[in-house]
Structure 1
Amino acid sequence: MKPKNDAQAYRKIAIATCFGTFLEWYDFLTFASLAVVLGPLFFPSSDPNTGLLASLATFGVGMVVRPIGSALFGSLGDHIGRKPVFMITIALMGLATVSVGFLPTYAQIGIWAPAFLVTLRLIQGLSAGGEIGGGAVYLTEHAGNKNRGFKTSFLQLMGPLGILVSTLQIAALQSCLSAEEFQSWGWRVPFWVSLPLLLSAFYIRRSLEETPVFLELSNQTEKNESQLINNFKDSEIRKRMFLLFFCISSSGAILFFCVQVYTAVFLKTSVHLESALVDKLSIYATIALLPLTIFAGWLSDRLGRKPVVLAGIILGSIFIRPAFQLLQKLGTHYVESPSGSALLKIGLILTALSLSLALVVGPQTALLAELFPAKGRNSAATLPHNLAAGWIGGMLPLIVTWLNQSWGNDLAGLWYPTIFLSAAGITAALFLPETKTKNLSQ
């Protein structure tokens, strides 16, 4: 069975896949955005910092279990098909997120409140592990062999859009409600919003077809009960799983943290720019990232996946620390003497950082599928990708902050992503194969 080339059919598949992945990111990141609010409600303490740390730790639990979800659902995707796993993960994520909006607080049911919250967060993490990575395989297997980088790069926009929509929604609620109203019930609204989104995503996905690659594979071979184990037995697949983990997914996770998360924290805490101004700059950086990501996916169809990804990793390793030094200098100058010129320069720096991220993640969706043979593709791609996102990306804020505090310097922690990206760049240059002409049926 040949992959569908009909543009209208592919658009339907792409919209359904992207919408579901957006919902996963929206649900997953709303929890992080509300960590400050959830802390005293579910983890009351005489020390406010203790409650916040407990809330952040609960968010971290979702990141830690993502690889477990990827192993479970990735193997299922190789065994029963990509589409059934798609339906399971979207349902689990949506139901867990909506349930958070209805949870009683610690004041109402005591210790059961944080216990239920952690349980729902674990379900979210398991679901995200199956969706993020599995969605890339599903979309790429439908994309055919022409312009795969461009066609699949749109999936990479869903993380930034999830952050953007979640942040704007919470900001709008806080502006419309009093502090007491938001603390009492307003924080529940972003979780309730997941219900209509879930129903829409589930309805759209139900009409999708299984990927042509999996249908062809299922007709030719017997389904393997433990394909993930077989992947680890194959030395070539093991090598490619490591390259995906270390060079592509970890680099993307590190750059995502630095560009989408740490810049805002840095400008607020180290440079002391006003929060409202930093939020506007963050929105600008996200908007700038969107077309750059599509451009990088398109460019990888022309030049190849490897040179585009490698350029992003090298640019990030060279530019991250000097970029933050410039942000510190320009931001301090703006605080002392506000000027449009300083803001313009800050915007250009954020754009350059966004470019390095886009060059890595733009071709990433296609690369996740192209690196591996069809038989074990889902499990081989999702496990290293979620290990990188959950453990490397998830632990990066803690490591950078710890290094900053240990050295008493707001820039010291940035040596960690700089060294990591440098090592990843050297490894990718030596060992990462070119995959843009890969036949996905093989």
Structure 2
Amino acid sequence: MNINNNLHINKKPQSYLKTVVAACFGTFLEWYDFLTFGALAVTFGPLFFPSSDPSASLLASLATFGVGMIVRPIGAAFFGSLGDRIGRKPVFMITITIMGLATLLVGFLPIYSEIGIWAPILLVTLRILQGFSAGGEIGGGAIFLVEHAGKENRGFKTSFLQLMGPFGILASTLQITFLQRWLSPEEFQAWGWRIPFFISFLLLLLAIYFRKTLEETPIFEELKIKDLKTEGQLLNNFKDSEIRKRMFLLFFCVSGAGAILFFCTQIYLPIFLKTTVKLSAELVDQLSVLSTLFLVLSIIFAGWLSDRIGRKPVITSGLLLGALLILPAFWLMKEIGLNSHGLSTSDTFTISFIMLGLSLILGLLGGPQAAILAELFNSKSRNSAATFPHNLAAGWVGGTLPFIVTWANQATNSSLDGLWYPTVFLFVATILGLKFLPETSRNTLL
């Protein structure tokens, strides 16, 4: 029985577009909320973690960002199993509400000078709630979209979900840049940083409205018709050797490596350019916008390409290029900063070119990611089997990367030694991917 054809044959073309818009808007809000926190890491340092050492404040702020990522697997385990039991749509409504309310409350938090130690405690608590909800959303959103996509061109159709990360970065970066230009540094430090968190509440209302219009996925509807029980499915996944193997490959070769590249190129790189290369914040923000727009094109292209030549060749190409080029790229940007007494046009062009190249490498992993995440598993175990390793990788590998790299650099008194961690990880992921990662582009979804 071809479930995809039977359940999609009567759908109008607009139906999938409506699903994409509704699902993607909510995922965009998750990323916007999550990444606004990261974009304000430098601002949060003195407000919530005051210290005579600016590096210590920055480390504390980055650690708080990492806490939200570390909690993601717990949310994934809970909401992933819940999604296999009660459906994909109800979980969507729960996670978006938790994320939106937690983010709104960050905007109301008093700072350290007002309530002392309770300020960082409350900030960390809200960050934990953000991470918990993101664990159910990020990964679960990919499954929801893939199960609506049908059989043909799944890589291209679902690549649009992967744009929500870059769009979340773009929205938070542009918003903060605008606020920093509109307000004086004193005004932004005093109250301007709160505005993005208030805006998120308006976005939450829109997201809830859009998500109420979503239909449950046809794959899950078929599971209900067949009355297939999925209680305790996450534990059952670990008992199945084939599912366990695929969960490990997803963790290491797709989600872990993708998280490494994402946080290296989209989160850590702007910090590196501001603190090590000593570029102005305004120039870094402009270059970040340019590279993010290019990343959007790269993701769509890679998703389309994976439908033509397969998921595995596209993903392993990104893994190998990342392993080979991450460290040289950061080294070259540092050398440009050290040897320049004022950035020339050619220097700016070189740094821009490097950032675009890194965006292309990230796109090769990001484009097919949503599709392969769902295609690796059958429908009964998919939500729990995919979301847990995906969020474990994003949280424990990607989320801690800025902190680990910064700490390693400070421990060795170097600005580059910490980057050996992502480099080695990507080399190992390349070897594992080439040898063991299956091709999934022609898999059925049932």
TM-score of the pair, normalised by structure 2: 0.94
In structure 1, C-alpha distance between the alignment counterparts of 2:44 and 2:334, rounded to whole Å: 31
Instruction: Letter of the 1:336 partner, please give it.
Output: H
Counterpart of 1:116, as a letter, is L
Q: CA deviation at 1:223?
A: 2.2
1:187 counterpart residue number: 193
The answer to whether structure 1 residue 403 and structure 2 residue 408 are counterparts is yes
> What do the CA deviations read for 1:53-83 (whole angstroms, capped 9, x no partner)?
4433322221111000000000000000000
Residues 213 and 325 of structure 1, relative CA distance in 2, 3 Å threshold: same
Residues 355 and 51 of structure 1, relative CA distance in 2, 3 Å threshold: closer
Contact 2:62–2:402 (Cα < 8 Å) also in 1: no
Match of 2:371 among 344, 366, 373: 366
- Please give the alpha-carbon distance, in whole angstroms, between the structure 1 residues aligned to 2:60 and 2:391: 23
Question: Which region of structure 1 is more displaced relative to structure 2, 171-180 or 285-294?
Answer: 171-180
Which letter does structure 1 place at the counterpart of 2:419? L
Q: Distance in 1 between matches of 2:352 and 2:39?
A: 23
Return the offset for 1:240: 0.2
Which residue in 2 is equivalent to 1:430? 435
Give unmatched runs, 5+ long, in structure 1: none
Match of 2:72 in 1: 66
Give yes or no for contact 1:21–1:158 (8 Å, CA) kept in 2: yes
- Cα 1:28–1:243 change in 2 (3 A) is same
Task: From the superposition, tell whether residues 110 and 258 of structure 1 become closer, same or farther in structure 2 (CA, over 3 Å).
Answer: closer
Match of 1:159 in 2: 165
SS in 1 for 2:441: coil
User: Compared with structure 1, are the counterparts of its residues 54 and 416 closer, same or farther at alpha carbon in structure 2 (3 Å cutoff)?
Assistant: closer
Quick one: which amino acid aligns to residue 188 of structure 2? F
Alignment correspondent of 1:342:
347
- Answering whether residue 299 of structure 2 is matched by residue 285 of structure 1, we say no
Q: Give the Cα separation in 1 of the matches to 2:308 and 2:194.
A: 46
Structure 2 letter corresponding to 1:206: K
Deviation of residue 338 (structure 1)? Answer: 4.0
Contact 2:159/2:303 (CA < 8 Å) preserved in 1? Answer: yes
Note if 1:381 corresponds to 2:403: no
Instruction: Give the deviation of 1:155 after TM superposition.
Output: 0.8
> Are 2:27 and 2:138, in contact at CA under 8 Å, matched by a contact in 1?
yes
Of 349-358 and 8-17, deviating more is: 349-358
Counterparts of 1:26 and 1:142, CA distance in 2:
24
In the aligned structure 1, how far is the partner of 2:269 from the partner of 2:20? 31
Counterpart AA for 1:55: S
In structure 1, C-alpha distance between the alignment counterparts of 2:60 and 2:183, rounded to whole Å? 26
1:420 aligned partner, one-letter code: F
What RMSD in Å do the two structures reach over aligned CA positions?
1.9
Distance in 1 separating the partners of 2:87 and 2:435 = 34
Residue identity opposite 2:270 in structure 1: A
SS of structure 1 residue aligned to 2:400: helix
> Which residue of structure 1 aligns with residue 395 of structure 2?
390
CA drift of 1:161 comes to: 1.3
What are the Cα deviations for residues 131-154 of structure 1, in whole angstroms up to 9, with x where unaligned? 000000001100001000000001
Identity percentage over the alignment?
65
Query: C-alpha offsets along residues 253-290 of structure 1, whole Å, 9 cap, x if unaligned?
Result: 11112221233233333332333222222221111111
Going from structure 1 to structure 2, the CA distance change for 1:337 and 1:189 (only over 3 Å counts) comes to closer
Letter paired with 1:403? A
Number of residues paired by the alignment? Answer: 440
Cα gap change, 1:347/1:109 in structure 2, threshold over 3 Å: closer, same or farther? closer
Q: Retained in 2: the 8 A contact 1:252–1:361?
A: yes
Once the two structures are superposed, the pairs formed by residues 32-43 of structure 1 within 5 Å of their partners are 32-43=38-49
Q: Which moved more, 1:188-197 or 1:166-175?
A: 166-175
2:3 maps to: none
Q: Matched residue of 1:363: which SS?
A: helix
The runs of 5 or more residues in structure 2 that have no matched partner are 1-5
Amino acid at match of 1:297: G
Please tell me whether residue 355 in structure 1 is matched to residue 356 in structure 2. no
**Aligned partner of residue 145 in structure 1, secondary structure:** coil
Q: Which residue of 2 aligns with 1:90?
A: 96
**How far apart, in 2, do the equivalents of 1:327 and 1:108 lie?**
40
Moved more, 51-60 or 13-22: 51-60
Q: Is the 8 A contact 1:3 1:213 kept in 2?
A: no
Residues 350-378 of structure 1: CA deviation (Å, up to 9, x unaligned):
22211111101110000110000100100
CA pair 321-49 structure 1, distance change in 2 beyond 3 A: closer
CA distance in 1, matches of 2:125, 2:97: 16
